[in-house]
Amino acid sequence: MAETSSLVRRILDGDKESFRIIVNENQRLVSHIVFRMVYNKTDREDLCQEVFLKVYKNLSQFHFGAKISSWIARITYNTCLDFLKKKKHPASDTVSFEDVENQDLTGDYTSPDESVKREEMSTFLHREIEMMPPNYQTILTLYHLEDLSYTEISKIMQIPEGTVKSHLFRARKLLKERLTSKYQKENL
Amino acid sequence: MNSKHLTDEEFQDYLDERHPAESGYMEEHLRTCQLCRNNLREYKSLYAELKAERGFELSPNFAESVMSRLPDVEIPVSQTRYATIIMSAFSILVVISIAIYLLNWKWFIQTISVIPSPFFKAILVFGNSIAGFFAHLNVGINLLLMSFVILLVISLLDYLLFSKKRKLISFFQVAGNP
């Protein structure tokens, strides 16, 4: 925490080069969130850059007691939401979790080879995750990939902790049901 | 053996290690229940996949691109942080002084005066000034003025700390929406 504070102070004092450390340490987190929320590949890198420029511009507003990665994650999440609103992306407007739950399963899971099976399962799961609303995807990403707690995710996404917990539960339950269904098809 | 199968919530809590105390009961059940073992295996596969999932790869020169755009961006100087600190200290000073005067803590003043600290001395000087001022007034007006001063301090605090914060939040949401 003290290191972060001194780093931010150095940048605020004009040492722009120190900002590179913030970029390097947080680009993975930013790219994960952007990847989960924005489908257009060409927009993703631009958005990541935009996020870091916002971080730099608003650095004087950063509260020194806070965790900088959570603050950056919140900026990323809001930047993506703004982007989706501007673009009127269907994922942000029309797709609800219920829509995804009611979708029919497509494609069979028939490879006998274990490694191919695993690869297919991975592809299948990724496709299922991508069909979920962006907020569900983001929660899955922040929890499983970034190891953030309910409290941290709740602060980043500005939603109650209970909502984080229930979204996470529903998303994983649905994904597991889809997996089970695939296994059962395979075994028939 | 408990014939009731484990629920999705129990599986997830188990893998999230949320209720370690219940893991003994779950493991006991899993030893004898093939269906729940299968379910757990599927959940474990799912967790492994969620953990292994990767985002898209940023270009190798991503950091460089960001750094090259920084000179075009100026960091707005935030004076509110310092103003807030100074005004908070001042307000605390005022409140302590009023409290000292109102409660007549002679023992407190005597204790503080022993401590060689510029901060406590400042409190004393300030408290004594206020006390001196109000000593000339009678008790009724005294109380009325005290109430007014307290209200003033609270309003001042609210304006200085929270109204600026509100403005900052709205600026933040419009400019960067972080």
Residue B56: Cβ within 10 Å count: 13
Domain residue limits at B31? 8-52
Residue type, A97: F
Last residue of a domain, one of A57, A88, A119: A88
Residue B147 confidence (pLDDT) above 80: no
Q: Same structural domain for residues B162 and B100?
A: yes
What integer pLDDT is reported at residue A171 of this predicted model?
93
Q: Same structural domain for residues A110 and A146?
A: yes
Q: How far apart (Å, rounded) are the C-alpha atoms in residues B61 and B67? A: 10
Block means of pLDDT (10 residues each) for chain A, length 188 residues? 81 89 93 87 90 92 84 94 79 54 49 61 82 88 90 93 94 88 65
Q: Same structural domain for residues A118 and A48?
A: no
In a domain, B157, yes or no: yes
What integer pLDDT is reported at residue A4 of this predicted model?
82
Selected residue of B46, B65, B79 to mutate for chain A interface (largest A Cβ count, 10 A): B46
In a domain, B129, yes or no: yes
Q: Same structural domain for residues A79 and A152?
A: no
Count of structural domains, chain A: 2
**Residue B20 half-sphere exposure toward CB, CA atoms < 13 A:** 0
Minimal CA–CA distance to A143: which of A131, A129, A128?
A129
In a domain, B3, yes or no: no
Count of structural domains, chain B: 2
Q: How far apart (Å, rounded) are the C-alpha atoms in residues B152 and B65? A: 51
In a domain, B57, yes or no: no
Q: Same structural domain for residues A179 and A117?
A: yes
Residue B170 confidence (pLDDT) above 70: no
Three-class DSSP category at B178: coil
Three-class DSSP category at B1: coil
- Residue B141 to residues B33, B126, B136, B144, B152: CA-CA distances in angstroms? 81, 20, 10, 5, 16
Q: Same structural domain for residues A137 and A180?
A: yes
CATH code, A16: 1.10.1740.10
Chain A residues in contact with B58 by the CB 8 A cut-off are: 27, 31, 45, 48
Q: Measure A94 CA to nearest chain B CA, in Å.
A: 23
In a domain, B70, yes or no: no
Q: Same structural domain for residues A77 and A134?
A: no
Contact state of B178 with A12 under an 8 Å Cβ cutoff:
no
DSSP of A51-116: HHHHHHHTGGG--TTS-HHHHHHHHHHHHHHHHHHHHT-HHHHT--HHHHHHSPP-S-----SHHH
Contact state of B42 with A183 under an 8 Å Cβ cutoff:
yes
Residue type, A116: V
Chain B residues in contact with A53 by the CB 8 A cut-off are: 66, 69-70, 73
Q: Same structural domain for residues A125 and A166?
A: yes
**How many angstroms from the chain centroid is the CA of residue B18?**
25
Q: Same structural domain for residues B43 and B84?
A: no
Minimal CA–CA distance to A6: which of A67, A57, A64, A69?
A64
Q: Same structural domain for residues A83 and A105?
A: no
Last residue of a domain, one of A50, A67, A88: A88
Q: Same structural domain for residues A24 and A103?
A: no
Q: Which of A44, A121, A145 sits opposite B51 (nearest CB)?
A: A145
Minimal CA–CA distance to A32: which of B44, B43, B178, B51?
B51
Q: Same structural domain for residues B164 and B94?
A: yes
pLDDT band at B173 (very low <50, low <70, confident <90, very high): very low
Q: Same structural domain for residues B45 and B95?
A: no
Q: Same structural domain for residues A107 and A56?
A: no
What integer pLDDT is reported at residue A110 of this predicted model?
43
Q: Same structural domain for residues B96 and B48?
A: no
Q: Same structural domain for residues A84 and A101?
A: no
DSSP of B80-117: HHHHHHHHHHHHHHHHHHHHHHHHT-HHHHHHHHHS--
In a domain, B93, yes or no: yes
Question: Rg of chain A's alpha carbons, rounded to an integer?
Answer: 19
Chain A residues in contact with B172 by the CB 8 A cut-off are: 58, 61
Chain A residues in contact with B56 by the CB 8 A cut-off are: 31, 34-35, 41, 44
Size of interface A-B (CB pairs under 8 A): 127
Domain residue limits at A70? 2-88
Instruction: Read off the pLDDT of residues A154-167 as tens digits, 9 standing for 90 and up.
Output: 999 999 999 999 99
Minimal CA–CA distance to B13: which of B38, B37, B47, B45?
B47
CATH code, A168: 1.10.10.10
Q: Same structural domain for residues A83 and A101?
A: no
Instruction: Read off the pLDDT of residues B62-87 as tens digits, 9 standing for 90 and up.
Output: 999 999 988 766 666 555 556 666 76
Residue pair A161/A150 in contact by the 8 Å Cβ criterion: yes
Q: Same structural domain for residues B23 and B86?
A: no
In a domain, B160, yes or no: yes
Q: Which of A16, A48, A59 sits opposite B62 (nearest CB)?
A: A48
